[in-house]
Amino acid sequence: MGILSRFKDIMSSNINALLDKMEDPEKMIDQVLRDLESDLAEVKSETAGVMAEEARAQREVNACQNEVDKLQAYAEKAVLAGNDKDAAIFLQKKNSKARELQSLQQAYDLAKENSAKMRQMFDHLNDQIYEMQSKKTQIKAKVAVAKTQEKINKMTESVQTAKGTMSKFDKLEQKADAMLDKANAMAELNGAMTSTNMEDLMDKYDTTTATSVDEELQALKARLGRA
């Protein structure tokens, strides 16, 4: 049937649309499901129409069969009444209706086959939509996990960058420590030099003071007549 092929194409085009726009699978699968549900409504309407055609064909077959049976009964009654001419008329009409019944039966068989195919397609499409609805939940869950993972990746990248920055601060701290150690060493050396110079200066005056005392002692002795 053409409609079977048509809805197969619809299913294929919907899935292809989903694959072509995978930048947001969550939104796309919702859109595809809406499209498929719209298609399902159309298939349902078509299926109902084909099933109605089957029922109509069935009624025509039954009505024609009843007419054939009725004409057969009238032919038998005419024979029993000894009226072969009337019996022949009934049989002729019955044969005509039998040929009509054959055509109606063929039409009914085709309608029944079409109805079965449409019902099968409707059930299949309905099952596929149900399956896709289940997959939608899975896809949305995976998308949510993926988005969370992306956030974690960005945070991890930021932490790694921060670690790199901290390592630079560590180097700066090491450089500052080296500068401080050097300054302290210089201060220590400067202090040592100042102490040595002070001692030399004190020795100078100590010597000078000692010489003055000796001179003062000699003068004192001279004045006292003890020289």
Strongest mean pLDDT among 13-27, 81-95, 190-204: 81-95
- pLDDT > 70: percent of the chain: 72
Asked whether the beta carbons of 33 and 132 are under 8 A apart, the reply is yes
Residue 210 belongs to some domain of the structure: no
Q: Is the pLDDT of residue 47 over 80?
A: yes
Structural domain including 35 reads 2-167
Domains identified in the chain, total number: 1
Residue 58 belongs to some domain of the structure: yes
Residue 219 belongs to some domain of the structure: no
Q: 167-225 pLDDT, tens per residue?
A: 666 777 788 778 887 777 777 777 655 555 666 666 666 655 555 677 777 777 777 77
Residue 211 belongs to some domain of the structure: no
Q: Is the pLDDT of residue 126 over 80?
A: yes
Residue 184 belongs to some domain of the structure: no
Residue 90 belongs to some domain of the structure: yes
pTM: 0.51
Residue 63 belongs to some domain of the structure: yes
Contacts of 24-31 with C-beta under 8 Å, sequence gap 24+, read 25/139, 25/143, 26/139, 26/140, 26/143, 29/132, 29/135, 29/136, 29/139, 29/140, 30/136
- At residue 217, the pLDDT reads 73
- Averaged pLDDT of the chain: 78
Cα angle: 71, vertex 74, 78; to 5 degrees: 140
Residue 209 belongs to some domain of the structure: no
Radius of gyration of the chain (CA): 58
- At residue 22, the pLDDT reads 55
Tell me, what amino acid is at 220? L
Q: Is the pLDDT of residue 10 over 60?
A: no
User: Max Cα separation, the chain?
Assistant: 209
Choose the weakest-confidence range: 11-20, 107-116, 187-196.
Answer: 11-20
Identify the residue with better confidence: 118 or 224: 118
